[in-house]
Amino acid sequence: MPRASVVGAGMTKFGVHDSTLSELFAGAALSAFDDAGVGPDDVDALYFGNAMGGQTENDTHLAPKAASRIGLAGVPCQRYEDACATSANAFKNAVHAVETGVHDTVLVGGAERCTPVTGLGTDEMTRIFASASDRHYEQPTGLTFPGVFALLTKRHMHEYGTTEEQLAHVAVKNHANGQFNPNAHFGKETTVEEVLETPVIADPFRLMDCCPFSDGASAVVVTSTDRADSFDAPVDVSGVGHATDVVPLGAKPVPHHTQAARDAAAQAYDQSGTTADEMDLAEVHDCFTGAEIMASEAIGFFEDGEGGPAAEAGRSALDGDRPINPSGGLKAKGHPIGATGTAQIVELTEQLRGDAEDRQISGAEKALAHNLGGDAATTVVTVMEVRG
């Protein structure tokens, strides 16, 4: 039985923007309003995600600022922060709110500016991103997130024989998908050879194994299931799992299993009464190519150790048997932290409506989103389905 429904979805193009955070979010929010056929008077609350605005732009208390841009001043507004899982957590809470009757309709989304328009360079942005790692055991060593996921991926390679070429296949696939997404930061194809020729960032990752810093915003309109039939194209939310793993990285019993993702996926499948085998596609958190391979196993699309060979064989491509990241993923679509989680929901909504055009997965009826935060310490997994 569905828990809630998405009735409107919108996002900006991800890339480089000179708009403010509130202006970026307004673009996505108004697009979601138009898609749903609603206006500010139809919305009971705003759940807004932003991870780093206080550090990058000295800009906090963002929810009422964003609300004021779109005519929502007066309704309850709440900002969420959960590292890269920020807006997925906001989305989870919006689903809870309409499911329990706290609100009938909620606008939920996020915005972030991560490119040099903030006045900060890559070194400083990398340091700020690293604030989501352990303050006492990880940050003092100089460990940043390329290093965090490199360590996880190296362990995966040690256990299963995953190769750098298999990592490169993930990048190639996601860039190929990104060319079909008009909102993607990057729309240019690449090759395995080109990926392997780029500079090493943190072994085994090369530059093309890493997602970009992006600016952008995304938003969806979530309403209760008993109201959804009054909208043109509702898509049901049948499960939302949320789990955490131990911090710091060195304390994780089996680091490369990304246990929070396994637990969140199990919750989402249980709530929705579905299994991994029933999913027609997934959007997963591929901040690095190795992260996609580990996520593909954690959500049950492939057995442990099979994610790398599956990527190399094309099984996760648009025309594969287990499509992953048809949007281009973080790798090509981009990664404005606070907007990433609900951008995945936008993609699932378009896919399940049959509106994804050249990247459409034929006959898609059930789909999953996997959004993680920090050193794989937080994961939110959502299952959505075509309305029955």
- Cite the active site residues: 84, 335
Task: Report H helices in the chain.
Answer: 21-36, 53-57, 62-69, 86-99, 122-129, 145-160, 164-178, 192-196, 225-228, 259-272, 289-298, 307-313, 329-333, 337-353
DSSP letter assigned to residue 211: P
DSSP letter assigned to residue 75: B
Burial-class residue 95 by CB neighbours within 10 Å (0-12, 13-18, 19+).
buried
Contact partners, residue 175, CB within 8 Å, separation at least 6: 186, 188, 189, 190, 328, 331, 332
Letter string b/e over residues 180-197, b meaning 16 or more CB atoms within 10 A of that residue's CB: bbebbbbbeebebeebee
Residue 274 exposure: Cα atoms within 13 Å on the Cβ side: 28
The residue with tokens 């055009």 is 357
Spatial separation of the C-alpha atoms in residues 113 and 292, rounded to whole Å:
23
Rg of the chain over all Cα atoms, to the nearest angstrom: 19
- Length in residues, the chain: 388
* Among candidate residues 332, 340, 326, the one with its CA nearest the CA of residue 379: 340
Q: Is the peptide bond before 2 cis (omega within 30 degrees of 0)?
A: no
